[in-house]
């Protein structure tokens, strides 16, 4: 009987269908946004691949915190509010849009995107989205497929710690 319980626990803990939240498989991309440091990290292949500076919400409540899913991606996104086409230098969304489902939205309200104002990066200035330099969002875009989990938090913890806590980085035993 004890061996059966051990096997059952092993299946439960290492199952990709984790009942207590996300359990990305090693090698699955995972994005972390830390509002405290205004940085975005891409975790892939069981390690932190890159960290880039970002701009986040003017106030703490504007960029929602939690674990979300990337649901929309667009190259040269259209900016509906001011009727500015993608690729236009006046477009505040920059060159890429990586949208996620925060606050029960469909990925078209909150996202990681480029900017036409590079001086805003590293500051708390947005209305809720996460801004990156166009070059940074361009390079991350291909490594973040639809369905990727994104964690948005405000913490002193390192990206390594957060990756380990959320199963995106597994330490060898």
> pLDDT tens digit string along 9-34?
444 444 343 344 445 555 689 999 99
CB 125, CB 58: distance < 8 Å: yes
CATH code: domain of residue 39: 2.40.440.10
In a domain, 172, yes or no: no
Task: State how beta strands 124-126 and 149-153 pair.
Answer: unpaired
* Full residue range of the structural domain in which residue 93 is found: 30-166
Residue 156 to residue 78: CA distance in whole angstroms: 35
Residues of the chain under the 50 pLDDT cut = 1, 3-22
Residue 154 lies in a domain: yes
Number of Cβ atoms within 10 Å of the Cβ of 116: 17
Structural domain contains residue 15: no
| Residues carrying an active site annotation | 113, 129
Instruction: Provide the whole-model pTM.
Output: 0.84
Domain count, the chain: 1
Q: How far apart are CA 161 and CA 7, in angstroms?
A: 27
DSSP code, position 168 = S
């Amino acid at each position: 009987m004890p061996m059966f319980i051990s096997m059952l626990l092993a299946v439960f803990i290492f199952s990709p269908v984790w009942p207590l939240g996300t359990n990305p498989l090693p090698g699955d991309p995972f994005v972390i946004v830390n509002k405290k440091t205004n940085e975005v990290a891409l975790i892939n292949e069981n390690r932190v691949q890159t960290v880039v500076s970002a701009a986040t919400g003017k106030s703490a409540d504007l960029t929602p915190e939690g674990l979300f899913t990337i649901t929309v991606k667009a190259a040269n996104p259209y900016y509906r509010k001011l009727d500015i086409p993608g690729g236009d230098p006046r477009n505040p969304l920059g060159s890429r849009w990586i949208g996620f489902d925060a606050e029960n939205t469909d990925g078209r309200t909150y996202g990681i995107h480029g900017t036409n104002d590079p001086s805003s990066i590293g500051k708390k200035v947005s209305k809720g989205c996460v801004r990156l330099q166009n070059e940074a969002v361009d390079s991350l875009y291909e490594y973040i497929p639809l369905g990727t989990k994104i964690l948005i938090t405000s913490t002193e913890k390192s990206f390594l710690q957060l990756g380990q806590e959320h199963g995106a980085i597994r330490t060898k035993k």
